[in-house]
Amino acid sequence: MLVNITSILKNKRTEILELWMKNQLSNPGLADDLISNQDLRSQSADFVNALVNNLNENNIDNPNSSDFDHVIEILGGISISRARQGFSPRETGFFILSLKESFLEILNQEISDVKDLFTQSLRLSRLMDNFTILTFETFIKGREEVIMRQTDEITDISTPVIKVWDGILALPIIGTLDSARTQVVMENLLQEIVITGSSIAILDISGVPTVDSLVAQHLLKAVSATRLMGAECIISGIRPEIAQTIVHLGIDLSQIITKATLASALQYAFKSLRLEVKRSATDNKLFNKTQY
């Protein structure tokens, strides 16, 4: 007759927790800078208690049993939090694998019959392997959420709309301009045009490494959208190599105002708005004087 494995685990839960903590703390890859020993013990105690309390001879062979819903909820929360804290997949996986090792060590101490030990260890291993897979799946989802959030933050940072003067906006573009980023650029620019009531927008592409036909089409879309909002659009940062590429590709930018530098574009914008910047006659400092 097979021993009751769940009774063993329930009676030995304290020893299991201590053994599990020992296994985790002995791991050289433990990110102790990301989690304190106290928090680690708290997470471990919550999970092992939930698992042992809900484990019985009827569900040990069925990892999909609804009895494990609370266990899976705790494990999912731990995996997600570790993904957000910066744990590696290896470190996260070791959390559940080291518990499996602790379970098997306890069974080895409590079951003397070799055949019975093998059978019970196999049952428990299958259950824990399922939880391990679940851990990795949840961790990956958490990492994807982190990456998506960071990507959105980087996109926002890399496409700032700057009000350089009353009626003049500038948007320096750094890096590759693809369809998704073009959409962000247009949304940010059009929103600022509405908010500030600006009539001139400068798109500076000095930080764009290359301009091909696709990038040019994206720029044309941004210019068209700006014009529909009643604002004039100037493209600055046209380097010699970019100019040659545009000519070689046969891209027509003749209807768009282009300037070699942001300073040149700003000068043109000042002139369009009948603004003039002069040097002070009283000292050698620059000041801005508006003339209408």
Domain with 85, as residue range(s), is 5-152
Span 153-193, pLDDT tens digits: 676 666 788 898 999 999 888 877 777 777 788 888 888 99
Q: Give yes or no: residues 23 and 148 share one domain.
A: yes
Q: Give yes or no: residues 102 and 207 share one domain.
A: no
On whether residue 73 sits in a domain, the answer given is yes
Q: Give yes or no: residues 94 and 10 share one domain.
A: yes
Span 76-110, pLDDT tens digits: 999 999 888 888 888 888 999 999 999 999 999 99
In whole angstroms, what is the distance from residue 27 CA to residue 12 CA?
23
On whether residue 190 sits in a domain, the answer given is yes
**Domain finish residue from 94, 125, 152:** 152
CATH of the domain at 214: 3.30.750.24
68-79 in b/e form (b: 16+ CB < 10 A) is beebbebbbebb
On whether residue 75 sits in a domain, the answer given is yes
On whether residue 288 sits in a domain, the answer given is no
On whether residue 68 sits in a domain, the answer given is yes
Ramachandran region, residue 31 (left: φ > 0; alpha: ψ -120 to 50; beta: rest): beta
Q: Give yes or no: residues 22 and 57 share one domain.
A: yes
Average pLDDT over residues 129-135: 93
Predicted confidence (pLDDT) at residue 289 exceeds the cutoff of 50: no
Q: Give yes or no: residues 48 and 171 share one domain.
A: no
On whether residue 50 sits in a domain, the answer given is yes
Q: Give yes or no: residues 126 and 101 share one domain.
A: yes
Q: Give yes or no: residues 203 and 133 share one domain.
A: no
In whole angstroms, what is the distance from residue 105 CA to residue 7 CA?
15
Q: Give yes or no: residues 212 and 107 share one domain.
A: no
**Domain finish residue from 99, 117, 152:** 152
**Domain finish residue from 152, 170, 201:** 152
Q: Give yes or no: residues 139 and 213 share one domain.
A: no
Predicted confidence (pLDDT) at residue 291 exceeds the cutoff of 70: no
Instruction: Tally the domains of the chain.
Output: 2
Quote the pLDDT of residue 189. 87
Among 62, 93, 67, residue whose Cα is nearest residue 78: 93
On whether residue 289 sits in a domain, the answer given is no
CATH of the domain at 56: 1.10.490.130
Predicted confidence (pLDDT) at residue 17 exceeds the cutoff of 90: yes
Predicted confidence (pLDDT) at residue 59 exceeds the cutoff of 50: yes
Q: Give yes or no: residues 146 and 173 share one domain.
A: no
| DSSP letter for each residue of the chain | ----HHHHHHHTHHHHHHHHHHHHHT-TT--TTTS-HHHHHHHHHHHHHHHHHH--TTTTT-TT-GGGHHHHHHHHHHHHHHHHHT--HHHHHHHHHHHHHHHHHHHHHH---HHHHHHHHHHHHHHHHHHHHHHHHHHHHHHHHHHHHHHHHHHHHHS--EEEETTEEEEEEES---HHHHHHHHHHHHHHHHHH--SEEEEEEEE-S---HHHHHHHHHHHHHHHHTT-EEEEE---HHHHHHHHHHT---TTSEEESSHHHHHHHHHHHTT-EEEE-SSSS-EEEE---
